[in-house]
Structure 1
Amino acid sequence: MIGEKGVRATKEEEQREPFPLREAAAMAVATALPLQQFIASLDDTCLPKILQVCSGVYFQGSVYEISGSEVSFSTGDLIKVIGLELLSVCCEDLSNNDKFELPINHTGLFKVVPDEMPFSTVEEMMSMRPVGLESCLPFTFTSRSKMTFDSVTLGAGKALTVLSIEQREGEEDRVRCHVQGQQEVSAEVLIPLSTRGDFVECESKECYTLQEIMSSPGLRSRRFRFENTTKCQRPLVLSPIHQVNALMNLRKNILKFPSSLEVDVVDVTELCQDVKFVTPLSLPEVISQPDESFPAVVNVLEGPDSRSPFKCSWLPELSKRSQLVFHRRGTSAMILLSSLKSRKAQQYFLVSHQYGGRFRRRPREFNSVYELYVASMQAPGLKVSVTRNCEEVEEEGLPGLSVGDQLEVVRCERMELPCESPTAQRQSVEALLCHRLPEPDDGDDDDDEEEVKQDEERQEVLLPLYMPGHFCEVLKDKKKYRLRDLGKDFSLPLDVKVVSRDPDVESDPLAGFACLRIEAAMLEPVIQASFPYRSDRCFEIPTRWLSMSVAFTTDPLPWPSGEPPECHLDRVTEVTDTFFYEFRKLESSDEAPPPRPPKRNLSLASCKKSSSKASKKTSKHRTDKNAPTKKLADLTLNSKKRPPAPPPPAILEDEPPPIVPRKSSGANKTSGKALPNTYVKMEEPKKKTAPLCEAEADEDSEHDYETVDETLLTMMKAAQENVMFY
């Protein structure tokens, strides 16, 4: 059993029930039955039934504890059973009292175990049949003693099969039985119901499923065994286990518990006809109520979830034990708006068609050609302006676009991509055919320029659908629209701006946005509601998107009879991004995804990659070969990167420093001319770079720079020896 006998009712729990009910329970203790036995005797035709608990039980380890709530039945509690659902069958072994459960769809078959106790008369045996005689015939029994009927004598142990009951007016009822004689000779005899003897029922060959056994109250009172003798030979008692759907007095939700709960109950249906049980209703169930049920005051039994998709002022007040006035039910036309993405978080709004503000259209922005295609399908003749340059990629079929180019979308067709190899197969993709429009005429163009513009008007541009881009819609519409007119005259989505706010909305949240996007229009089943202390300020509750339970009450309405207040309806309701994404899932479940770019030819790509690598390698070697010439050119007085000055020659302590002769004296002694500055004349060794480069023609050599360094050192040494120190 799931339940365990435990905590009894406290004094406060006992005092919460009316005294007549406790008195009725005390008077009916003699007829108390276990809950499982009582529920097994019920069917759907006799519901509802009101039961009173005679012994309390703490329902421990049940499904209600798992779901976060506890259920405890205390003495005196009233339970109104409103529904039953067969869950499983409890099998009890009579030999050792072991119990196990089988699902109701168990495929095994069962045979009836005959009673061992003999019956003294035929009438007693027939009255103890589990079901009506007509529905269980034929069945077989034997007599332990010899029987004589008129001229027929039957010996002890003879098997008799009951075929029917013979009823004649003015005569005793008799049963017609079939008797199997010797040598396959059979006969029929009529046995009066008052015949005495020791009669024992024989085992029948008929087999039953669990469904058949549970559907017959007579069969449920019998003992059974498995047809398959390898499972269990011992007799079993089968008991149904139902899931009970019930209402409880002073409880505000529907309880569901198994009938195997160990609690004793008594039927008090006739005594408690005037007891009012709270009936919780969900919002969709409230919508299905007749019009006569409105207006009404309701109690909130379960408030909305904390993760509700609405962000509005009335939502926090829908808490448990609060009251609402339901004015009417119906369907409301709404528009879903969203703010554009920016540094601030994106916001979403549900706006009623009764919104009184005025809107002006705003140009839409598109970030791909596919978005252009979708928009053009909804509004033909779409014109856009390019807002960002797009470089031409010839091998992928992407044309070049410049900022300011104006395009008019014509239609969608297929285009062939250019093929780099003549043997490769051409790829065909979907593309958007557009006309490139000329720039506006300033009136100063001559005839030749006019002809060029006419040619530009006929210029066609094919944009693959997978092509990225940045476009802005070209609009010349300055008209102001109502919200309901925008939904009728234009296809969605549509970008708008509020140019005049609704005067009936105290703080219009839509007026502060530079641009809003109309995402979709919808018809939502709603309940117009208000709070009792502010019955003239109404709001609409979309029943599809808010989960809560309420109960109708008989409380009076918060206004004089026949004088309902004039309601002012909240026309703007902010919703969360969860609402927007869930709505998108419902609306765009069948939309195809944007197309993908075509696959590139991997062989051609690898060839391009290898060729680019080779070119890079060649350029690298060429740069290295030019390095010596560059270094030689840097050895000038005008160079920014001079080599470090040579250190002075070593001077011995015992010798005086050497005397350097003047330039003029040295020059006159030789040729009468001044010697050229050797440090400036260093560009002459450039002539020697040619053979050096020829010696370095081996591209595999990694030490080309070593020869260059040795040459530089030699030249620097010669320059050092020719420098004149003063």
Structure 2
Amino acid sequence: MTALPLQQLIASFDRSGLPKILQVCSGVYFQGSVYEISGSEVSFSTGDLIKVIDIELLSVSCEDVGNNEVFELPINHTGLFKVVPEEMPYSTLEEMLSLRPVGLDSCLPFTFTSRSRIDVGSYTLGANTALTVLSVERHAGEEDLVRCHVRGQQEVSAEVCLPLSLHGEFRECESEECFTVQEILSSPCLCSRRFRFVNTTKSQRPLVLSPIYQVAAVMNLRKNIFKFPSSLEVDVVDVTETCGDVDFVTPLSLTEVLSQPEESFPTVVEILEGPDTHSPFRCSWLPELTKDARVIFHKIGTSAVVLLSSLRGRKTQQHFLVSQQYGGRFRRRPREFDSAYELYVASMQAPGLKVAVTRSCEEDEEEGLPALSVGDQLEVVRCDTVELARDGARGQKPAVEALLCLRLQEADDDCDDEDEEEVEREDGSEEIFLPLYMQGHFVEVIADNKKYRLKELGEQFSWPLDVKVVSRDAKLEADPLVGFPCLRIEAAMLEPSIQASFPHRPDHRFEMLTQWLSMSVSFTREALPWPAGQTPECHADLVTEVTDTFLYEFRKQGNSDAPPPPRPPKRNLSSATSSNESSKKTSKNVTFRKSLSGYLGRSASASWPPETPNG
């Protein structure tokens, strides 16, 4: 087999005869030189196999015969070309006619000359006389003749018939016929000729035109189909006949595995590239996902999982992805809140929220802060707009958003506060308003002692939700959720997944969440490690620990557009100071007034949430 330049071999291919397998012999790409072609890296080493699956005409390469300069033209180039006559003479008329650049009938008439004189019967044609071929006459049993037109002196013309086998030294004259780029590239005979531009403003030197194709191919261990131009300076040989049964290994990401047909599973795959060392999972199967290892992919699908987190405390916070098939039981745990705004958000998710105050708060009438005592129970009703007692920055009483709550009291409790924001009701409760910017400490009041499965919690409550495992999953050898005093259910999600196992433990399956694992595999033809039709019973991992990185990336994907908690409204400092100085004279109150004035002066640049001063 003879090695040929890539461009020459590709130009000889017919699309109907693809695919073809080529082997790299030598060239600019010897020893694996790397080039970037149209944004993708192409590397060819001696001995590489390339499977050409498609070719598409891309452009035309024009080589100047005189100085070997090369330039490209698009295939839709509108300029015209003329055939440059061959310098070598033809020895017979038959040879000259058979090597015409296009079919004989379509190229007639054309003109040629003879270096020596021609004797035809009683006529003699002088040397270098121009003869124009009109037709070729063929008669059975007779010699083929070429009918030619001869123009003599004083515009005298005649027709003569010359034998097709006539010997001599014949040269073709330049034809007036013009061709486009596409016409030249579509004719093998034209592609073998030299041309010049019809437009005289361009170079008149002879050009050799060659097609450049966009080659679509696959290579062993290269992802998907890659494309490159046929003009790459590399020598190749066609080995289709000897290497037709070679398998080309195609790397697949886990996301690409999901697009494979379901009948492809179960199957044994080989890991070509393992997951990142900074994987978001902490599990027993992750260290075994190494290069060259074998894994069984049982099936593809979507997994319903719930993200749980332990609460911050003395121990390091932990996070878990828990399948909704988890068999343990949960009880609800009271949530803690640090502001009225957090109460508002929670009440929007679950109306009828009741909380108990865990830290006292002194009243500040001007800021609209009510007095709260440890043990007070509040029921959140709705969010409303109220006016503060003090003047704002423009001398008007500022309106703020506040949470209307019912302070639940015993029937015999007395209420001596007659503020406009606190109205006693017949059932012993009173209405109070908590500005959304108010800081506080509250704990949820729940009387629910029922045990729930994970799926039931999702059906009856919204997230986030605080729970505690009170009954472990008996199917798990060790339930990692048991022992936490409180777990917060952050969110529920549907994740594309691959159910997998290792060949030495085909019954112990785990779920690979494709969005969170970056690795590449290739399908093999290896047999499954169990008899045909006897799929082993499986035990799936239902709880997988994840890192803080997973929680961060998950929350970042949420792209929450929720507005930040509100700030207290600005006050008119001059009027507030004047009013306070005239109404209160005690040293203690003056000290507090200066402190409050200093705080308000800093409030525009202070970070949220600020500590609201108590009077």
Does the alignment pair 1:117 with 2:117?
no
**Unaligned 5+ residue runs, structure 1?**
1-27, 147-155, 171-193, 614-618, 620-726
> Which structure shows the higher helix fraction?
1
Name 1:59's counterpart in structure 2: 32
| More moved, 258-267 vs 568-577 | 258-267
SS at match of 2:288: coil
Which residue pairs with 1:380 in the alignment?
A: 351
Matched, 1:356 2:307: no
Find 1:411's aligned residue among 382, 391, 406.
382
The residue type equivalent to 2:329 in the other structure is R
User: Matches of 1:559 and 1:231 in 2, distance apart?
Assistant: 74
Task: Identify which range, 483-492 or 290-299, moves more after superposition.
Answer: 290-299
Mapped pair 1:73 → 2:45: yes
SS in 2 for 1:511: coil
Query: What is the rounded CA distance, in whole Å, between the counterparts of 1:93 and 1:391 in structure 2?
Result: 94
Q: Is the 8 A contact 2:271 2:522 kept in 1?
A: yes
Q: CA deviation at 1:532?
A: 0.9
| Distance in 1 of aligned mates of 2:204 and 2:86 | 19
Maintained 8 Å contact 1:297/1:325 = yes
Secondary structure of the residue aligned to 2:380 is: strand
Aligned counterpart, 1:535: 506
Q: Any conservation in 2 of the 1:49–1:81 contact (CA below 8 Å)? A: yes
Asked if 1:333 is matched to 2:310, the reply is no
Call closer, same or farther: CA 1:453–1:554 in 2, change over 3 Å.
Answer: same
Please report how far the alpha carbon of residue 376 of structure 1 lies from its aligned counterpart in structure 2 after TM superposition: 2.1
Q: Look up the match of 2:446.
A: 475
Q: CA RMSD in A?
A: 5.3
1:239-638 matches, within 5 Å, as 240=212, 242=214, 244-248=216-220, 251=221, 256=226, 258=228, 259-390=230-361, 398-404=368-374, 405-416=376-387, 420=391, 424=395, 429=400, 431-439=401-409, 441=410, 454=426, 457-464=429-436, 466-586=437-557, 588-589=558-559, 591-594=561-564, 596-597=566-567, 600=570, 604-605=572-573
After superposition, the Cα gap between the structure-2 partners of 1:125 and 1:576, relative to the gap in structure 1 and judged at 3 Å, is: farther
Q: Offset of 1:539 from its aligned partner? A: 0.7
Deviations along 1:29-71, whole A, 9 cap, x unmatched? x3x322233345557765432222334721224359x99x995
1:208 deviation in Å?
Answer: 6.8
What secondary structure sits across from 2:507 in the alignment? strand
Evaluate the alpha carbon distance shift between residue 491 and residue 484 of structure 1 in structure 2; reply closer, same or farther with a 3 A threshold.
same
Alpha-carbon distance in structure 2 between the residues aligned to 1:546 and 1:612: 64
Q: Deviations over 1:103-130 (max 9, x none)?
A: x79x986543543438988997898658
Instruction: Tell me how far 1:236 sits from its aligned partner.
Output: 7.2
C-alpha change, 1:256 and 1:52, in structure 2 (3 Å) is: same
Counterparts of 1:605 and 1:269 in 2: how far apart (Å)? 89
Alignment-derived partner of residue 176 in structure 1: none
Cα distance in structure 2, aligned partners of 1:456 and 1:263: 93
SS at structure 2 position matched to 1:528: strand
Q: Given the two structures, how large is their TM-score scaled by the length of structure 2? A: 0.70
1:422-463 deviations in Å (ceiling 9; x for gaps): 96566655x343223223x3x7669999x9563762414153
Summarize the alignment of residues 223-238 of structure 1 with structure 2, pairs less than 5 Å apart: 235=207, 237=209
> How high is the TM-score relative to the length of structure 1?
0.60
- Determine the C-alpha separation between the residues in 1 that align with 2:578 and 2:60: 76
- Kindly state the Cα deviation for residue 314 of structure 1 after the two structures are TM-superposed: 0.7
Q: Is the 8 A contact 2:113 2:173 kept in 1?
A: no
Q: Once the 2 structures are TM-superposed, how far is the Cα of residue 202 of structure 1 from its aligned partner?
A: 5.8
When the two structures are aligned, how many residues end up with a matched partner? Answer: 540
Q: Deviations over 1:46-101 (max 9, x none)?
A: 5432222334721224359x99x9955234x4332346688887665444334567
Separation (CA, whole Å) in 2 of partners of 1:426 and 1:307: 55
- The worse-fitting range, judged by mean Cα deviation, of 306-315 and 531-540 is 306-315
- 1:432 and 1:204 map into 2 onto residues whose CA distance is 90
**Structure 2, unaligned runs of 5 or more:** 115-128, 141-163, 418-422, 582-586, 588-615
Residues 595-621 of structure 1: CA distance to partner in whole angstroms, max 9, x if unpaired? 5437636xx4477789999xxxxx9xx
**TM-aligned CA distance change 1:80 to 1:422, over 3 Å:** closer
Alignment of 1:21-36 (within 5 A): 28=1, 30=2, 32-36=3-7
CA distance in 2 between partners of 1:216 and 1:437 (Å): 94
SS in 1 for 2:481: helix
Q: Give deviations 1:665-712, integer Å, cap 9, x for gaps.
A: xxxxxxxxxxxxxxxxxxxxxxxxxxxxxxxxxxxxxxxxxxxxxxxx
Conserved in 1, the CA contact under 8 Å of 2:217 and 2:225?
yes
How far off is 1:537 after superposition? 1.0
CA drift of 1:543 comes to 1.9
Change (3 A) 1:577 1:49: farther
Given the superposition, is the C-alpha separation of residues 423 and 48 from structure 1 closer, same or farther in structure 2, using an over 3 Å criterion?
A: same
Task: Report the residue type matching 1:60 in the other structure.
Answer: S
Quote the Cα distance in structure 2 between the aligned partners of 1:224 and 1:608: 95
Could you tell me how far 1:571 is from its partner in structure 2?
A: 0.7
Cα distance in 1 between the residues matched to 2:378 and 2:272:
59
| Counterpart amino acid of residue 402 in structure 1 | L
Q: Does the CA-based 8 Å contact 1:526-1:542 persist in structure 2?
A: yes
CA–CA separation in structure 2 for the residues paired with 1:591 and 1:542: 26
Structure having the larger proportion of residues in strand: 2
Q: Secondary structure at the match of 1:376?
A: helix
The answer as to whether partners of 1:214 and 1:240 remain within 8 angstroms in 2 is no
Matches within 5 A, 1:124-135: none
Question: Identity across aligned pairs (percent)?
Answer: 54
Inter-partner Cα distance in structure 2 for 1:415 and 1:213: 85
Distance in 2 (CA, whole Å) between partners of 1:262 and 1:610 is 89
Q: Residue type of the partner of 2:350?
A: A
Q: Is the 8 A contact 2:56 2:215 kept in 1?
A: yes
Q: What amino acid maps onto 1:563 in structure 2?
A: Q
Kindly provide the CA deviation profile for residues 281-302 of structure 1, in whole angstroms up to 9, marking residues without a partner as x.
Answer: 3223322333332222221122
The letter for the 1-side match of 2:548 is D
* Matches of 2:214 and 2:399, distance apart in 1: 64
Bigger radius of gyration among the two: 1
- Structure 1 residues 537-587: Cα deviation after superposition (integer angstroms, max 9, x where no partner): 11111122222222222222212333222111111111223322332233x
2: CA distance, partners of 1:483 / 1:461:
36
Give the Cα separation in 2 of the matches to 1:320 and 1:409. Answer: 57
Which whole-Å CA distance do the structure 2 matches of 1:278 and 1:225 have between them?
Answer: 47
Q: Which residue type is aligned with residue 361 of structure 1? A: R
CA contact (8 A) 2:358 2:442 kept: yes
Q: Out of 523-532 and 42-51, give the one that drifted further.
A: 42-51
In structure 1, distance between residues paired with 2:209 and 2:359: 83
Contact (CA 8 Å) 1:385, 1:471: kept in 2 or not?
yes
Structure 1 residues 421 and 507, CA, compared in 2 at 3 Å: closer, same or farther?
closer
CA distance in 2 between counterparts of 1:390 and 1:252 reads 67
CA distance in 2 between counterparts of 1:363 and 1:317 reads: 40
Gap change, CA 1:94 and 1:595, over 3 Å in 2: farther
What is the identity, as a one-letter code, of the residue corresponding to 2:46? Answer: S
- 1:483–1:88 Cα change, 3 Å: farther
2:370 alignment partner AA: G
